């Protein structure tokens, strides 16, 4: 609905259509996975790196399945009860790849709570909100690699065999989650902050929303919208007043953290990325990476975030997209070639008397040109 994660339409975009894309849902069903088993597998990743297991209270008091006897808000969340003992997750877990990743995401929050639990209450928080969102996602970047899926028995040896074409399909599916998210993650709070500033008046809530959706994200509504509709209010984080920029920040810094941990683990060689590419790194069972991550998490918010970032990034104190670009380099190379081959144009334009044309953010340029031919830009803004 939000076009925030495009991986569910990955079959349309696979670079090598004759090669498989990896989906673990059938294996989860075949092996009779339960919500608890997903959570135990996730916990085992953290402990394999020397991080903390989930405490007993977590297992007794969390809600990890949709209750049958009442209605609850199913949006997954993780909670710190601030007594240094009680931490819980609430999630209506389905047996899908998406939820398997969400389990790791939420457990990343709890691992952070546990690591900083002995700090003064004022410092029991992420170095910045983006750090909190990034912890579990960093773990997931290893978990979803084909080679890790083989290790935990969710993919057969043959399906996980190294193959550059399967790799491209894997990277495309990752990009449809991670890169396609960026414009969406950015525009939510741009819209909200402009509302708070008074730059967007209540008589233009929906119109300005769709302007941003068109300009920044390059999507259009399926039918004509008006101020009778309030589309942003249907997004959980808008209605529940949850800040969103943290996710945008997370989707960038998680690649910096991933690169730093993978380098420490000897799983990535920046000087020889062809032999050990960043997208193929798995930090499972690596104590060096675990110690480094722990060192960062234990600081909570007791230091300014650039100081905390510098702990694991060998002194780098800035948020930047270089690691994200390195991760997707093989896909970017392929897209450059493929777009040239097909003469695809970069960017998108709004037609129908709209005088502005829009270029893709340079970070995303390789991505949007895939869609230019697909979409018809005859959007009617209110
Ligand atoms: Zn989160």
**pLDDT 10s per residue in the chain (382 long)?**
899 999 888 889 899 988 877 788 889 999 999 999 999 999 999 999 999 999 999 999 999 999 999 999 999 999 999 999 999 999 999 999 899 999 999 999 999 999 999 999 999 999 999 999 999 999 999 999 999 999 999 988 877 678 889 899 999 999 999 999 999 999 999 999 999 999 999 999 999 999 999 999 999 888 899 999 999 999 999 999 999 999 999 999 999 999 999 999 999 998 998 899 999 999 999 999 999 999 999 999 999 999 999 999 988 999 999 999 999 999 999 999 999 999 988 788 665 444 333 333 333 444 444 444 334 444 455 5
Number of domains comprising the chain: 2
CA neighbours closer than 13 Å in the CB half-sphere of residue 162: 7
Q: Is residue 364 domain-resident?
A: no
Q: How far is ligand 1, taken at its centre, from the CA of residue 139, in Å?
A: 13
Quickly count helices (H) and strands (E) in the chain.
Answer: 16, 4
Q: List the domain range (segments joined by +) for residue 55.
A: 24-161+246-329
Q: How far is ligand 1, taken at its centre, from the CA of residue 106, in Å?
A: 6
Check if the beta carbon of residue 267 is closer than 8 Å to that of residue 276.
yes
Catalytic residues: 106, 237
Check if the beta carbon of residue 321 is closer than 8 Å to that of residue 252.
yes
Q: How far is ligand 1, taken at its centre, from the CA of residue 133, in Å?
A: 5
Same domain, 77 and 146: yes
Q: What is the pLDDT of residue 358?
A: 35
Q: What is the pLDDT of residue 297?
A: 98
Q: How does DSSP classify residue 50?
A: T
Q: What is the pLDDT of residue 114?
A: 98
Q: How far apart are CA 215 and CA 228, in angstroms?
A: 22
Q: How far is ligand 1, taken at its centre, from the CA of residue 138, in Å?
A: 12
Same domain, 261 and 324: yes
Check if the beta carbon of residue 323 is closer than 8 Å to that of residue 259.
yes
Same domain, 28 and 85: yes
Residue 133, annotated as binding a ligand: yes
Q: How does DSSP classify residue 217?
A: I
Same domain, 51 and 79: yes
**Chain position carrying tokens 């900083």:** 116
Q: How far is ligand 1, taken at its centre, from the CA of residue 161, in Å?
A: 32
Residue 75, annotated as binding a ligand: no
Torsional sign, CA 28, 33, 77, 311: negative
Q: Is residue 267 domain-resident?
A: yes
Torsional sign, CA 47, 51, 57, 59: negative
- Least Cα distance to 212 among 308, 362, 199 occurs for 199
Residue 227, annotated as binding a ligand: no
CA–CA distances in Å: residue 359 to residues 169, 299, 317, 370: 26, 40, 29, 14
Same domain, 102 and 234: no
Same domain, 98 and 147: yes
In angstroms and rounded to an integer, the radius of gyration of the C-alpha atoms of the chain is: 21
């Amino acid at each position: 609905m939000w076009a925030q994660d495009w991986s569910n339409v990955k079959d349309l975009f696979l670079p090598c259509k004759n090669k498989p894309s990896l989906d673990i849902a059938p294996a989860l069903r075949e092996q009779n996975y339960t919500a608890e088993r997903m959570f135990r597998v996730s916990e085992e990743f953290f402990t394999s790196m020397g991080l903390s297991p989930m405490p007993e209270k977590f297992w007794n008091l969390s809600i990890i399945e949709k209750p049958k006897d009442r209605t609850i808000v199913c949006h997954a969340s993780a909670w710190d009860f601030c007594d240094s003992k009680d931490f819980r997750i609430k999630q209506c877990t389905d047996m899908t790849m998406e939820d398997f990743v969400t389990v790791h995401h939420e457990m990343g929050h709890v691992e952070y709570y546990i690591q900083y639990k002995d700090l003064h209450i004022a410092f029991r928080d992420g170095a910045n909100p983006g750090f909190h969102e990034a912890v579990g996602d960093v773990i997931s970047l290893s978990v979803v690699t084909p080679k890790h899926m083989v290790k935990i028995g969710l993919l057969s040896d043959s399906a996980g065999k190294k193959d550059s074409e399967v790799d491209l399909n894997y990277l495309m599916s990752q990009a449809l989650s991670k890169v396609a998210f960026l414009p969406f993650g950015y525009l939510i709070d741009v819209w909200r902050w402009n509302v708070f500033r008074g730059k967007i008046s209540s008589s233009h809530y929906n119109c300005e929303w769709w302007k941003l959706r068109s300009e920044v994200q390059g999507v259009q509504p399926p039918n004509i919208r008006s101020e009778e509709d309030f589309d942003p209010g249907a997004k959980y984080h808008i209605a529940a007043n949850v800040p969103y920029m943290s996710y945008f920040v997370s989707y960038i810094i998680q690649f910096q953290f991933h690169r730093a941990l993978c380098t420490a683990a000897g799983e990535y060689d920046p000087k020889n990325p062809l032999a050990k590419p960043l997208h193929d790194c798995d930090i499972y069972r690596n104590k060096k990476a675990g110690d480094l991550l722990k060192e960062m998490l234990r600081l909570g918010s007791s230091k300014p975030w650039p100081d905390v970032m510098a702990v694991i990034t060998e002194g780098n104190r800035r948020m930047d997209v270089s690691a994200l670009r390195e991760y997707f380099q093989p896909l970017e190379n392929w897209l450059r070639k493929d777009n040239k081959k097909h003469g695809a144009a970069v960017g998108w334009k709004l037609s129908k008397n709209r005088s502005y044309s829009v270029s893709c953010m340079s970070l995303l340029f390789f991505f949007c040109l895939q869609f230019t031919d697909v979409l018809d830009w005859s959007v009617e803004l209110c």
